[in-house]
Structure 1
């Protein structure tokens, strides 16, 4: 079914400018999407379609969507690709192997699903979407500049359940309103906008280490720290939120 989008339709993504602390260029900024609402779920989509198309019952739509999603997952778990009208899902294996198929490092063999956009939606993204800058997010020099898995040594944001993740940066020490150590918060937020508070071990202005929970679902997460820290003698009147500009992937 073709998308119900006309060529004249325009879409706007509201964003804020944030200093890119991964480079030394002080004029380099990145855009972070400004999300004021929770992510939509299948049930929300079914409800909206039922309101727009009165010939369909919400419960029927929701059940059908759930059954299709389960079948897609089943197909992917069997190593087969799935192509919908707008997306392609492809199973993927990462790692290094011998000519006999044995992994050089079993801990580095990872199974994942790649998702790509198909031409019709890609054309709309390229030609009918624009961004609007809502403002500049000042951090007073506070920033998360990198992460490192303390077990695998990975610095690309990949980590695992039960692993220790080192967070590097400036003014990232987690403190509360009184300046008490570890009374601030470190969170991992999933694609479903679910926050998981994580345990903090080392807690210094330039390095904070966190323990990835053993029961955390595999997937992509946003890392953020909420702290009152300014320097060793001063705490902020209001907490500062520091967001890592790259994705954390739990594998």
Structure 2
């Protein structure tokens, strides 16, 4: 029998209902992993291959998978199956692709191994600490949701407890480049701010991937807490100045 895995699930008041004691849950993300981390785990299993060799193979596999998916192939690996789809409606039998309403996307279906792993998860429920929560970020230029971000352009952060309040210098919105020891870039211009939304002017960011985080001292009922609280959005965001925003894939 496969080992059981206990995962912490934070409970938040369900804002969609008025029922007392009704909560929604968020799995507590415990970190992020890349091919280098996977390679280290493989090496730990006493494989005869060098770490650099494994990383190179994993990176090459990722590149070939992207190529095959973009060619319209159905790709099934050890995690799941990927299929291209096309979003939006079309007028007539010989329509024109309209980037304003049509977009290519990717549908992901979990594979057998992943589905079996999900059966062995045990939730450990806990009431979430009062603090900021990010649900999504929408890039106003491309309308991409929690995927692509455009430097020097407006973006909308949605969530709960997002009121930026407090005198601590750490209070604010940050974009941190992916990787160890990277310096966070603080957002200088906050266009508007409520408990559920922050509209920002994106800072100047180089091409790459970034973690979004929000730090505030705002507590329940517009009170202040002594120590700043930070929420790190668990989805990596991408800046790619060479890409056509309207043709960027959407993973469902």
- The TM-score with structure 1 as length reference comes to 0.69
* Aligned residues between the structures: 234
Q: Secondary structure at the match of 2:225?
A: strand
* C-alpha distance in 2 between matches for 1:171 and 1:118: 36
RMSD (Å), alpha carbons: 4.1
* C-alpha distance in 2 between matches for 1:233 and 1:84: 48
CA displacement, residues 11-38 of structure 1 (integer Å, 9 cap, x when unaligned): 22122222233443342222222334x3
Distance 1:190 1:121, change over 3 A: farther
1:192 CA displacement: 8.1
- What runs of 5+ residues in structure 2 fail to find an aligned partner? 239-247
Among 92, 105, 117, the alignment partner of 1:112 is: 105
> Which residue of 2 is the match for residue 4 of structure 1?
none
Kept in 2, the 8 Å contact 1:150–1:165? The answer is: yes
Distance 1:161 1:96, change over 3 A: farther
* C-alpha distance in 1 between matches for 2:171 and 2:69: 40
* C-alpha distance in 2 between matches for 1:143 and 1:234: 17
Distance 1:196 1:76, change over 3 A: farther
* C-alpha distance in 1 between matches for 2:9 and 2:228: 21
Distance 1:63 1:15, change over 3 A: same
Among 13, 18, 33, the alignment partner of 2:7 is: 13
CA displacement, residues 78-137 of structure 1 (integer Å, 9 cap, x when unaligned): 23221113311122221222222214x5223323322221123313313x211112x312
Kept in 1, the 8 Å contact 2:212–2:237? The answer is: no
1:231 CA displacement: 8.9
Distance 1:210 1:65, change over 3 A: same
Once the two structures are superposed, the pairs formed by residues 179-218 of structure 1 within 5 Å of their partners are 184-187=171-174, 197-206=186-195, 207-212=197-202
Kept in 1, the 8 Å contact 2:147–2:237? The answer is: yes
- What runs of 5+ residues in structure 1 fail to find an aligned partner? 1-6
* C-alpha distance in 1 between matches for 2:68 and 2:129: 46
* C-alpha distance in 1 between matches for 2:22 and 2:206: 34
Instruction: Indicate yes or no: 2:222 matched with 1:228.
Output: no
Kept in 2, the 8 Å contact 1:177–1:236? The answer is: no
Among 75, 85, 89, the alignment partner of 1:82 is: 75
CA displacement, residues 181-200 of structure 1 (integer Å, 9 cap, x when unaligned): xx722246899899765454
Q: Secondary structure at the match of 1:108?
A: coil
> Which residue of 2 is the match for residue 53 of structure 1?
46
